[in-house]
């Protein structure tokens, strides 16, 4: 039987509807959640992402400001802007688009963002809170993966989840979130021996390696849920995930397509984080 498709676009639209309602409620209390996005340089992919974030904010009634800085911006100037945004009361979330130009120390910049405004969830304190299970703003793509699972009715507790990829942005945090949901978690990476064998024991397989169609059906347990985080541009110009979708379709039970799976969730979770940060900064409980 062919796998059921997890429709990230539809799930994302549902969540955005919920966020819009909450934002309207805040408006009636005189609060508008505000997001500042900082883009340094001319990276074409980053420009597209930043424009989508800005548009999404407008659609949901959030205030958004985009700071487009030239490629040769100094680290000192960038840190000064972050310091200003940390103190600006109309701003509840700060996102510095990555990658930054080579002359800027990415870690110094991330560390400078106020933790309570860290809507990317990349600050070391946010990461620490995630690991020890304290409240924090969660990294958007990993949180989006968990939301897709929950809203597709996939049980996580007690299941074996295998994560392929160990990046700080996706692999490690998604593994921590799966653990928090009581999965038994295995992380595989480029040095893992017998990766396909391990992956074939997964009830839930999350793939985030950035290599087009690297995962075929030899990695899939029949009926498994497959979450494909990869977005790769093929030579044909088409997009492909890290999973060979057509090859695994008959083996998997549930699968996210690319595009239209995890992708739409990332900005949605960012909007959710900005709303959450605005509520917290205004002393409004969950
Ligand atoms: N560049 C690509 N994805 C992301 C993201 O989720 N956050 C930031 N800040 N930069 C990115």
What is the residue with the minimal CA distance to atom 1 of ligand 1?
Answer: 98
Helices (H) and strands (E) in the chain, counts: 10, 11
Placement of tokens 């500042």 in the chain: 36
Q: What is the CA(138)–ligand 1 centre distance, in A?
A: 13
pLDDT band of residue 286 (cuts 50, 70, 90) is low
Q: Is the pLDDT of residue 57 over 80?
A: yes
Q: What is the CA(55)–ligand 1 centre distance, in A?
A: 16
**Ligand 1: residues whose CB is within 6 Å?**
95-98, 120, 140, 266
- Token pair of 162 as six digits: 């295998």
In testing the pocket of ligand 1, which one of 47, 49, 94, 173 has its CB within 8 Å of the most ligand atoms? 49
As a whole number, mean pLDDT of residues 97-112 equals 97
Give the model confidence (pLDDT) of 150-178 as tens digits. 999 999 999 999 999 999 999 999 999 99
Instruction: Give me the pLDDT at residue 1, please.
Output: 75
Distance CA 73, CA 41 (A): 8
Q: What is the CA(209)–ligand 1 centre distance, in A?
A: 15
CB within 8 Å of 17: residues ≥ 6 apart = none
Active site residues: 53, 97, 120
Return the domain boundaries, the chain.
30-114, 140-263
What is the residue with the minimal CA distance to atom 9 of ligand 1?
Answer: 97
- Token pair of 75 as six digits: 């680290």
What is the residue with the minimal CA distance to atom 8 of ligand 1?
Answer: 97
Instruction: Please indicate, yes or no, whether the overall pTM of this predicted structure exceeds 0.95.
Output: yes
Would 30-114 and 140-263 be classified into the same CATH topology?
Answer: yes
Domain 140-263 CATH (choose: 1.10.3720.10, 3.40.50.300, 1.10.1240.10, 3.40.50.720):
3.40.50.720
Give the model confidence (pLDDT) of 16-56 as tens digits. 999 999 999 999 999 999 999 999 999 999 999 999 999 99
Q: What is the CA(28)–ligand 1 centre distance, in A?
A: 31
What number does the ligand 1 atom closest to the CA of 96 have?
9
Cβ-contact 68, 97 below 8 angstroms? no
What is the residue with the minimal CA distance to atom 2 of ligand 1?
Answer: 98
Q: Is the pLDDT of residue 102 over 70?
A: yes
Instruction: Give me the pLDDT at residue 48, please.
Output: 95
- Token pair of 16 as six digits: 């955005």
**What percent of the chain has pLDDT above 70?**
100
Rg (CA), the chain: 19
**Fold (CATH) for 30-114:** Rossmann fold (3.40.50)
Give the model confidence (pLDDT) of 80-96 as tens digits. 999 999 999 999 999 99
CB within 8 Å of 254: residues ≥ 6 apart = 3, 4, 5, 6, 152, 154, 225, 226
In testing the pocket of ligand 1, which one of 82, 98, 168, 171 has its CB within 8 Å of the most ligand atoms? 98
pLDDT band of residue 285 (cuts 50, 70, 90) is confident
pLDDT band of residue 235 (cuts 50, 70, 90) is very high
Phi and psi at residue 270, to the nearest 5°: -65, -40
- Token pair of 102 as six digits: 């080579």
What number does the ligand 1 atom closest to the CA of 139 have?
6
The mean pLDDT value of the chain amounts to 97
End-to-end CA distance of the chain: 41
């Amino acid at each position: 039987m062919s796998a059921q498709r997890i429709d990230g676009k539809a799930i994302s639209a549902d969540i955005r509807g919920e966020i819009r309602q909450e934002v309207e409620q805040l408006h009636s209390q005189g609060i508008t959640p505000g997001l500042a996005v900082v883009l340094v340089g001319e990276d074409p992919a980053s420009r597209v992402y930043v424009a989508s974030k800005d548009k999404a904010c407008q659609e949901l009634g959030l205030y958004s400001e985009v700071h487009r800085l030239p490629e040769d911006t100094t680290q000192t100037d960038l840190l000064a802007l972050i310091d200003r945004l940390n103190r600006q009361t109309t701003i509840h979330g700060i996102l510095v688009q990555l990658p930054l130009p080579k002359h800027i120390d990415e870690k110094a910049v991330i560390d400078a963002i106020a933790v309570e405004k860290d809507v990317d969830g990349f600050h070391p304190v946010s990461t620490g809170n995630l690991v020890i299970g304290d409240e924090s703003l969660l990294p958007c793509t990993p949180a989006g993966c968990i939301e897709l699972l929950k809203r597709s009715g996939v049980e996580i507790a007690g299941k074996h989840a295998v994560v392929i990829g160990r990046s700080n942005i996706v692999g490690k945090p998604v593994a921590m979130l799966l653990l928090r949901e009581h999965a038994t978690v295995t992380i595989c990476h480029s040095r893992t021996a017998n990766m396909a064998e391990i992956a074939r024991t997964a009830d839930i397989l999350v793939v985030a390696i950035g290599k087009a169609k690297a995962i075929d059906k030899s990695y899939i347990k029949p009926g498994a849920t497959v979450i494909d985080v990869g977005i790769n541009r093929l030579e044909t110009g088409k997009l492909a995930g890290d999973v060979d979708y057509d090859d695994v379709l008959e083996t998997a039970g549930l699968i996210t397509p690319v595009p239209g799976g995890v992708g739409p969730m990332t900005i949605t979770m960012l909007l959710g984080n900005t709303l959450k940060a605005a509520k917290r900064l205004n002393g409004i409980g969950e």
